[in-house]
Amino acid sequence: MTAQGTDSPEHCLTHTPSRPSSAGAGAGVLTVLFSVFQPVSHETLEADVEDEGPAQAADSSNPGDGLPQYRLSEIKNHGPKSSRPWVIFEDKVYDITDWIPAHPGGEVILRAAGGSIEPYWDIFAIHKTPYVREILQQFVVGKIHPDDLEDGRPRMNDIEDPFVSDPTRDPRLRQITAKPCNAETAGEDLAEAFLTPNEVFYVRNHMWVPVIEDTAADAHGITIELPDGDVKTYTVHDLKAKFKQYSVTAVLQCSGNRRRDMTEHANKTNGLQWGPGAISCAKWEGVRLRDVLKDAGLPLDDLPEDAQHVQFSGLEAYGASIPIHSALDPRGDVLLAFKMNDLPLPRDHGFPVRVIVPGTVAARCVKWVSKIVVSDEESDTSWQRRDYKCFGPNETRDLDWDKYKSIQEMPITSAITRARKKSADGNHVEVEGYAYSGGGHEIQRVDVSLDGGKTWDQASLVDDSEQDSGSKAWSWKRWRYEGALPTTTEAAAFVVKATDDAYNTQPQCYKSIYNLRGNLATAWHRVEFDPRKEKGCADS
């Protein structure tokens, strides 16, 4: 159901040749080089070539450095299915065959085989260092033929775009980045309905969107690995047929939601500059992770000591983990979800299956999940051990990433998503927004101020209980407030803060919670409203 708005003016917050045998020496750096790549096993890969030896170039003479020259068509023959996979960097060709067995991510690097590695490095600029290039040079086998170069580099049309198969996004989303796509839900869409429509649900991608055809969805497999080494694989069809399915209504929120406010009101932050729209709410349907792990052989009543974390890996290379107690909590509602708002998961949101961990930062809700490991350690990805942590306001240099735990449960937050004039002179206004607290805590009260926090009143909480489901309060509360401005001639500062059932409340300012990564920007949300202007709201 969608809430019907009034017709009054709105102010919306939208806003191989031989080479040195030094693979072992270069292994450490090449772990950094390629560890971000994940093979997309469902994609149609180029046919293997009959001759698995080095391709013979039409012109292999190069007096300058003695390296043979290869046409791009020949390099493509050394793709993911070749026994001698090659990659391109600038005008050079590199044979990565001997590195693959040592790669901690297995055959992840094959995503770039047969083509250029540069589009992937553009996603992860950490690779663009002289030392990394020096190590890569150990694997050079040739150069690109001059006929395939333009100004000394391969033509852009000849370099495959990793994002070429990404889905089309709804134009109502407020795009932060295009490649990979990161886009937030606009204010009017956040305020409109309890369940955010799939097409305007915020998008957070770290890389490309894997391609799995509808006809292949049920055959998609998820491998479960237990501490004793036992391995069991379930297809999506197996999961649907074998286990009871449940539904849960839950918010997903990026840890960087409202990071832009922290940057503006405290100090510079590193990360996507999200407004208040990196949050949405949906009904999720699937099977309980707890049930699947039990069926796979994990003894829930007598857990081994090395069962401390549950790690998730997605098809595109992303990985994260949650503590074992979160995964096994009978009232935790952790799902392997197939549906979102009664429809199959959209591609941007994990089709055909994703992890849903209610009350927890969305970074743990891995999309396109293909592997689940019960381990004595949390995931070793940077997304688990580095990106989603908070340091003190003074900790801006020489950061010790092992000092603090990874973000799991989300703190309380709220935001103003829309304000409307209720009278012709703009003196009376209606303000709307959301409030949410992680860990299953329920919002008890929303306080609103129309004068910058000098005086306060309580907003009305919208009763959306008929659409809610789950063992705890995993969803948000929508709220509305009507009031008179203190003056009709000057701009007013609207402020909102919320309190949950544990009496957690939001901090007043961003400076006290400032952290370099800009995570958990949960201070009072402030919006400037000028009734003299046609569009009187400015998100701040």
- Which DSSP helix (H) or strand (E) runs through 310? strand 309-314
Residue 278 has pLDDT above 90, yes or no: yes
The pLDDT of residue 178 is 95
pLDDT at 30 over 80: no
pLDDT in tens, 336-360: 999 999 999 999 999 999 999 999 9
DSSP state of 236: H
Domains of the chain: 23-158 (3.10.120.10), 413-539 (2.60.40.650)
Which pTM does this prediction carry? 0.83
Is residue 29 very low, low, confident or very high in pLDDT (cuts 50, 70, 90)? very low
Report the alpha-carbon distance of residue 388 to residue 405 in Å, rounded.
9
Residue 56 exposed, middle or buried by CB count within 10 Å (0-12, 13-18, 19+): exposed
Dump pLDDT digits (tens) for 445-500: 999 999 999 999 999 999 999 999 999 999 999 999 999 998 755 778 999 999 99
Residues 398-405: what's their mean pLDDT? 95
Structural tokens at position 456: 């306060």
In this prediction, residue 113 has a pLDDT band, given cuts at 50, 70 and 90, of confident
Which two three-digit tokens encode residue 18?
């031989």
- Confidence (pLDDT) at 537: 57
Among 242-246, 381-385, 493-497, the minimum mean pLDDT is found in: 381-385
Q: What share of the chain is helix, strand, coil (3-state, %, to 5)?
A: 20, 30, 50
Average pLDDT for the chain: 86
Q: Which residue has the tokens 């407004």?
A: 275
Q: Please provide the DSSP assignment of 92-160 as one string.
A: EEEE-GGGGGG-TTGGGGGGGTTSBSHHHHHH-GGG-SHHHHHHHGGGEEEEE-GGGEETTEE-GGGSP
Q: Which residues contact 372 (CB under 8 A, 6 or more apart)?
A: 222, 223, 224, 225, 289, 292, 293, 310, 311, 312, 313
On whether the CB atoms of residues 203 and 347 are closer than 8 A, the answer is: no
3-class DSSP assignment, residue 45? coil
Please tell me the least confidently modeled range out of 56-60, 454-458, 515-519, 534-538. Answer: 56-60
Q: Which residues are designated catalytic? A: 103, 127, 204, 254, 388
